[in-house]
A and B are shown apart, each in its own frame.
Chain A
């Protein structure tokens, strides 16, 4: 089964494992009354294991791919040109938060939440908006989401300021993971043609800029609110789910469904990744059925 895994698959699985680890530690801290300091140490141990696993698996997958690439040759001038254009556009997007400077904070309180976790050394001990104790409380569906804790553990471990980490470092990381997701998708759409895959990635990176005009578009999410859970879902988890569906690896989409449930408010855990898998499977079955019937006729 693992032979079919590519480097991008392992990188994204590594991210999903880290989200899972953060969620587990978040729940331990929340319901076990543990401190952020304890949570950070526990998370870093789990995350180190996940990263190690990912790196080793990626190296194996990369070695296999490199041998295949060596046989296929490095690529012609067009491929090199496309690769250079793609890398330039990605670099521009990585630097975008620094160059542009503005971001969309409407309906988002991630930085405030991370600050409150670090200040109180605990999870949801005060209202992040006011810094005062809650008088009534907050919905359980928000309480169990682990993304702010993931950022808090990393801020605490690396001693980074919450605003710098959330507004500058996370969007850059999300940008890289996004292109891992789209690279996986390109493999699903054009399995045998590297030139087409590169052209696809160049077009996607241009479309990210094109789609920055409106809240809710992929480009806007990546360039103006790259730290939000919905951005991670739309730009990393959903493309990965789609690439798995294209390769008919439906059971493995469970990882994406679980990761989405850990970070975004879903319909009792049944978020967009689950809906995408079910719909894609239904469409695939219907298409196969009709093609079979047409052949029989």
Chain B
């Protein structure tokens, strides 16, 4: 029953996510345009929003805007020109006013209930920021990384070290609470970050990343090859996930170190 309820909640959340605000924007633009009373001072605002919305939807003008904003940004950022939140808020105020006018003469609680229902629709569509489930595991990953770095700081106190680990651990190596440098940075797997530097990584590091992060279709390095490559680097700390348990023996043998289990990882210190 609990699972059913959970599915019902996530189903509703998924059902009301993608694209709801642009749709609401277009609906409210239509409403405000066809509304009989238009304030003179807000006509320009309405016209501006309509023009920019059209510019962002039409492919030719959208392409021009994408060139203007530079290739550093993706398509969604041209919508910055459209005051979407402001226009929906503005249209919402007018809609609520018109509805209240229709309800004039009714009892106060009827008008209040109507206003509450309108706001309630927005509230249940909002999900209070919990709709972005794609990022909900970030906190858990950070906590896991924190545990590993705390363990390492206790194991090798006061020593600066170079670490090689899966990306969920390596991603937090430079956020401030670890005295270490990673073998490679986050820009090896997060390609957007390559815009911040001209530096590139050698092919070997890309293979190492493919191997440890489990992208077996793309990576073609064996356990021995990885261990041998690491033997020639200044890496002092290796963190392997338990799903690569089979490779731990090879690493211990080639590098001459011992692995100690720590939660869902094996840690090796040279």
Q: Which residues of A contact B (CB under 8 A)?
A: 85, 92, 96, 100-109, 111-112, 115-116, 127-132, 134-139, 142, 161-163, 182, 185, 188-191, 196, 199-204, 206-220, 223-224, 230, 233-234, 238-239, 242, 245-246, 265-267, 270-272, 275-276, 279-280, 283-284, 287
Binary flags per residue of B59-82, CB closer than 8 Å to A gives 1, else 0: 000000100111011101101110
List the A residue with the shortest CB-CB distance to B119.
Answer: A206
B11 interfacial contact with A, CB 8 Å: no
Roughly how many angstroms separate A11 CA and B44 CA in the complex, as a whole number?
A: 26
B86, A204: Cβ atoms under 8 Å? yes
**A residues less than 8 Å from B139 (CB atoms):** 100-102
Flag if B92 contacts A203 (CB, 8 Å). Answer: yes
Inter-subunit contact B136/A214 (CB<8 Å):
no
Q: How far is the CB of B10 from the nearest CB of chain A, in Å?
A: 13
Residue of B nearest to A197 (CB): B93
Residues of chain A within 8 A of B88, CB atoms compared:
203, 207
Most chain-A CB neighbours within 10 Å: which of B52, B127, B186? B186
Find B129's partner among A131, A191, A212 (CB 8 Å cutoff): A212
With a CB–CB cut-off of 8 A, which chain A residues contact B171?
105
Q: How many inter-chain contacts with C-beta < 8 Å in the A-B complex? A: 229
When chains A and B are docked, how far (Å) is the Cα of A196 from the Cα of B52?
25
Other than A130-B182, A163-B177, give 16 A-B pairs with Cβ distance below 8 A.
Answer: A115-B174, A127-B197, A129-B182, A129-B185, A129-B196, A191-B41, A203-B92, A208-B85, A209-B128, A213-B131, A217-B76, A220-B132, A224-B135, A239-B86, A242-B45, A267-B70
Per a CB cutoff under 8 Å, which of B83, B128, B182, B193 touches A107?
Answer: B193
Q: Are A233 and B196 in contact (CB under 8 A)?
A: no
Q: How far is the CB of B190 from chain A (nearest CB, A)?
A: 6
Nearest to A181 among chain B residues (CB) is B86
Distance in angstroms from A251 CB to nearest chain B CB is 17
Which chain B residues have a beta carbon within 8 Å of chain A's beta carbons?
17-18, 20-21, 41-45, 47-48, 51-52, 65, 68-70, 72-74, 76-77, 79-81, 83-86, 88-90, 92-93, 96-97, 119, 122-123, 125-132, 135-139, 171, 174-177, 181-182, 184-187, 190, 192-193, 195-200
Asked if residues A280 and B48 are in contact (CB atoms below 8 Å), the reply is yes
Chain B residue at smallest Cβ distance from A212: B129
- Are the C-beta atoms of A96 and B129 separated by less than 8 Å? yes
Which residues in A have their C-beta under 8 angstroms from that of B197? 127, 129, 134, 136-139
Please list 5 pairs of residues, one from A and one from B, whose beta carbons are closer than 8 Å in the complex, sorted by A's number.
A128-B196, A130-B185, A203-B122, A233-B80, A267-B69
- Which chain A residues border B92 with CB–CB below 8 Å? 199-200, 203
How far does the alpha carbon of A265 sit from the alpha carbon of B73 in the complex, in Å?
9
Q: Quick check: B79 and A279 within 8 Å, CB to CB?
A: no
Task: Verify B79–A106 contact, CB threshold 8 A.
Answer: no
> Is the Cβ of B198 less than 8 Å from the Cβ of A115?
no
Give the docked Cα–Cα distance between A135 and B195 (Å).
15
Residue of A111, A115, A116, A206 near B126 (CB, 8 A) is A206
Inter-subunit contact A212/B126 (CB<8 Å): yes
Residue of B77, B84, B198 touching A138 (CB-CB under 8 A): B198
What residues of A have a CB within 8 angstroms of the CB of B187 in the complex?
109, 129
Asked if B74 and A129 sit within 8 Å, CB to CB, the answer is no
Q: Which A residues are CB-close (under 8 A) to B128?
A: 92, 209
B121 CB to nearest A CB, Å: 10
Contact check: which of A104, A142, A266 meets B135 at CB < 8 Å?
Answer: A104
**Hey, which chain A residues are within 8 Å of B69, CB to CB?**
266-267, 271-272
* B81–A279 CB distance below 8 A: yes
**Chain A residues near B83 (CB-CB < 8 A):** 185, 238-239, 242
A204 lies within 8 A of B132 (CB): no
